[in-house]
Amino acid sequence: MRKIVFLTGTRADFGKIKSLIQSVEDDIGFDPYIFVTGMHLLHEYGYTLIEVERCGFNNISTFHNHTDEATMDLTLAKTINGFSEYIKEVKPDLIVIHGDRVEALAGAIVGSLNNILVAHIEGGELSGTIDELIRHSVSKLSHIHYTSNEEAKKRLIQMGELEATIFTIGSPDVDIMFSENLPTLEEVKKYYQIDLDTYAIAMFHPVTTEIDTISDKANQFVEGLIASEKNYVVIYPNNDLGSKHILEAYKKFKDNSRFKVFPSLRFEYFLTLLKKANFIIGNSSAGVREAPYYGVPTINIGNRQLNRASSSKIINISNQKIEIQLAIDSILPNRMEKTNSYGKGNSALLFLNSLKSNAIWEINHQKQFKDA
């Protein structure tokens, strides 16, 4: 039986890999382990370890890696130390990581330096901020790549990755997006005590390369939402450098009945809210990835999703209050055209089938570079 370790550091990456973990959990040929760290263990951000535990997975371990939002390098170092001790105990055959967070980078470093196969979910993507540097670094430290589409696969090949090591499976969260087990909107509103008839979703994350202007941009964002006189479900940012400025700006929502603010939402509940929202506004990847699948309009602010927005129906604007107001006023009641740019909802099946093939386990642990 092959041991597979999944590393998760945020509510977002867990939503992406949850269906993959479940597919492995249900197969007698594999023994999955889950290393939970990062934002999952921060009470300020909803202590989402609870959401991982609620899934009923076996072999869940936790590690507190947080230092301070201004010391991402030290958080990386601490994660490397903790994860290194963990994998020496578990002795996995494969480490699975997702995306572009420091936790993923730590997982790739530990795996590659300990001669363990590393599989990277959703490499080859484009975005702004420090995520771009981390994501491509993780790809170069990984042996196996599970991409969301052919464009991402082509970028990895441009980076010198061997085509035989790249498997296009789509974005795994799409599996959950169209699940028959999503809660109803009534259930979600009751669970979170949301008494808004209509609403939009607001999610604004720090752009670490713009730290000097984050406070101003966060306040422009908040003031633009307040001035719009619409209802919003607001979700906390991730805990990257600058998040404290955003949380400080969010204090302006206090005692305003048009705003329901949450540190975090259960992924399935978030999807139901998104599916029924009038629009989503901010700079979350949910606006350029999940929202188009549901045909929900997106107002994408600033550079965080630079080069990532693929739909012509997404409104891209700056962080200025006046632009935010104009964009909100321009949203039409009809839904935008739906997309299937990131798979068909069968990522977990494609992932599991690849693990059952000999090709994966015969991949050379010594990294190869393919010249163009």
Note down the domain range covering 285. 185-330
pLDDT (0 to 100) of residue 338: 67
Tell me whether residue 79 is in a domain. Answer: yes
Shared domain check, 162 and 217: no
Instruction: Provide the domain count of the chain.
Output: 2
> Are 167 and 22 found together in one domain?
yes
Q: Find the radius of gyration of the CA atoms of the chain.
A: 20
Sheet arrangement for strand 117-121: 60-62, 30-36, 2-8, 94-98, 117-121, 144-147, 166-168
366 within some domain: no
Q: Which amino acid would we find at residue 96? A: V
Q: Which residues contact 370 (CB under 8 A, 6 or more apart)?
A: 157, 160, 161, 162, 163
Flag whether 157 is in a domain: yes
Here the CATH number for the domain that contains residue 301 is 3.40.50.2000
The pair of three-digit structure tokens given for residue 218, joined into one six-digit string: 């966060």
- pLDDT (tens, 9 = 90+) of the chain, 372 residues, equals 999 999 999 998 999 999 999 999 999 999 999 999 999 999 999 999 999 999 999 999 999 998 877 688 999 999 999 999 999 999 999 999 999 999 999 999 999 999 999 999 999 988 767 788 999 999 999 999 999 999 999 999 999 999 999 999 999 988 999 888 899 999 999 999 999 999 999 999 998 888 899 999 999 999 999 999 999 999 999 988 899 999 999 999 999 999 999 999 999 999 999 999 999 999 998 998 889 889 899 999 988 776 665 666 789 999 899 999 999 999 876 666 666 678 888 999 999 999 999 989 999 999 889 887
Question: Do residues 254 and 130 both lie within one domain?
Answer: no
Residue 87: the pLDDT is 98
Two tokens at 48? 């989402």
Q: How far apart are CA 310 and CA 174, in angstroms?
A: 16
User: Is 337 inside a domain boundary?
Assistant: no
Token pair of 79, please? Answer: 């994660």
331, 299 in Cβ contact below 8 A?
A: yes
Instruction: With respect to residue 367, please indicate whether it lies within any of the assigned structural domains.
Output: no
* Order of all β-strands in the sheet with 280-282: 259-262, 232-235, 200-203, 280-282, 298-301, 315-317
Q: Are residues 267 and 351 in the same domain?
A: no
- Specify whether 31 is located in the same domain as 11: yes
Q: H-helix or E-strand containing 153?
A: helix 150-158
Residues 140 and 203 in one domain: no
* Alpha helices per DSSP H over 229-366: 243-250, 267-276, 290-294, 321-330, 347-356, 358-361
* b/e 124-152 (16+ beta carbons within 10 angstroms → b): bbbbbbbbbebbbebbbbbbbbbbbbeeb
Q: Is residue 372 part of a domain?
A: no
Same domain, 157 and 272: no
pTM for the whole structure: 0.90
| Residues 133, 195 share a domain | no
Rounded Cα distance between 322 and 227, Å, is 10
Instruction: Clarify whether residues 73 and 217 are in a common domain.
Output: no
Burial code (b: 16+ CB inside 10 Å, e: under 16) for 236-249 equals bbbbbbbbbbbbeb
Side chain identity, residue 151? E
**Same-domain check for residues 219 and 357:** no
Domain annotation covers residue 44: yes
On whether both 210 and 308 belong to a single domain, the answer is yes
Q: Is residue 229 part of a domain?
A: yes
Residue 287 sits in the same domain as residue 354: no
Residue 337 has a pLDDT of: 66
